[in-house]
Amino acid sequence: MVDQSGGQKLIISERKGFTFFQFEQLLLPRLDHLVTNRFFPFDLTQLEGKNKLAEILNTDEIIFPRQVHGSNLRLVDRASLSWGRGANFFADGLLTAEKRLYLGILVADCFPLLFFDPEKQALSVVHAGWRGIWQGIHLKTLGKMQLFFGSTPSSLIVGIGPGIGKCCFEVRQEVKEYFEQVPARANYIFPVSQNQWKVDLPGILVRELVEAGVRRGQIEIFPACTSCHTQTFYSFRKEGPKAKRFALVAALQ
Ligand SMILES: [Zn+2]
């Protein structure tokens, strides 16, 4: 099923009776990936929810990091499974070239990013909140994929999952000034009132990925703002600390 909203295609798929989303350009035989949503009835912040998702994916091999809103990425392989699903190691992005090893990250307004290199058969999943984007976690991912797998940015296919859009991401002066430290980012900041601004995070992601060599046509953006669509996703901004999380999970096949 394909929803053509906003000119971007949103693929809705079903697995074992549950509804998930997928990136159209990443529906490839050598990659499996899913974005969960509010219709997934288990709490992914709890081990039980992660176990349930693993069951639906038909795998015992799934890794989630403990996310800290930083920009550290970690290379993982099958041996890393001994760290467990309890997220007892710190990272905001995971990379692997290991087949059938599922990598997952959790979000609610922050952007879930999926980088796939079909040439080198490698992938990364990344949790990109405003702090991570400010620190350039998306560019660090390109650097690490080059270092570990020999990936060139122009070969990558990148999915930018559902996160908070420029319609809703309001920031105070301090955060605006962080972003202005990189002059080109000023084009993605819009005044709302005297001391409130809106920042277009997906705009910054796309521009900087393209500048670093990723092909614009190989970047797919989910056409939904999490804060505008709390019927489908979770939003920390809209719902506060009670907001649950949805996941992006992916594995090489
Ligand atoms: Zn919005």
pLDDT at 69: 87
Instruction: Determine the distance separating the centroid of ligand 1 and the alpha carbon of 32, expressed in angstroms.
Output: 28
Instruction: Determine the distance separating the centroid of ligand 1 and the alpha carbon of 163, expressed in angstroms.
Output: 9
Q: Do 44 and 50 form a contact (C-beta atoms < 8 A)?
A: yes
Instruction: Determine the distance separating the centroid of ligand 1 and the alpha carbon of 168, expressed in angstroms.
Output: 4
- Cα angle: 150, vertex 71, 59; to 5 degrees: 70
Instruction: Determine the distance separating the centroid of ligand 1 and the alpha carbon of 26, expressed in angstroms.
Output: 25
Instruction: Determine the distance separating the centroid of ligand 1 and the alpha carbon of 60, expressed in angstroms.
Output: 36
Alpha-carbon distance of 169 to 184, in angstroms, equals 18
Instruction: Determine the distance separating the centroid of ligand 1 and the alpha carbon of 185, expressed in angstroms.
Output: 20
Ion ligand 1: residue ranges with CB closer than 5 A: 165, 167-168, 225, 227-228
Q: Quick: pLDDT tens for 106-121.
A: 999 999 999 999 999 9
Beta carbons within 10 angstroms of residue 39's beta carbon: 11
Residues in the chain: 253
DSSP 89: S
pLDDT at 4: 40
pLDDT at 153: 98
Asked whether the CA dihedral 103, 15, 119, 201 is positive or negative, the reply is: negative
Instruction: Determine the distance separating the centroid of ligand 1 and the alpha carbon of 140, expressed in angstroms.
Output: 27
Instruction: Determine the distance separating the centroid of ligand 1 and the alpha carbon of 169, expressed in angstroms.
Output: 7
- Judge if pTM exceeds 0.85: yes
Instruction: Determine the distance separating the centroid of ligand 1 and the alpha carbon of 250, expressed in angstroms.
Output: 26
How far are the Cα atoms of 44, 143, 178, 190, 198 from residue 193, in angstroms, in the given order?
37, 37, 18, 9, 10
Domains, the chain: 2-252 (3.60.140.10)
Give DSSP secondary structure letters for 114-148.
EEEETTTTEEEEEEE-HHHHHTTHHHHHHHHHHHH
pLDDT at 8: 62
Q: What is the pLDDT along the chain (253 residues), one digit of tens a residue?
A: 344 444 466 799 999 999 999 999 999 999 999 999 999 999 999 999 999 999 999 999 999 999 988 889 999 999 998 887 766 789 999 999 999 999 999 999 999 999 999 999 999 999 999 999 999 999 999 999 999 999 999 999 999 999 999 999 999 999 999 999 999 999 999 999 999 999 999 999 999 999 999 999 999 999 889 999 999 999 999 999 899 999 999 999 9
Instruction: Determine the distance separating the centroid of ligand 1 and the alpha carbon of 238, expressed in angstroms.
Output: 10
pLDDT at 3: 43
Question: What is the amino acid identity at position 136?
Answer: G
Alpha-carbon distance of 26 to 158, in angstroms, equals 8
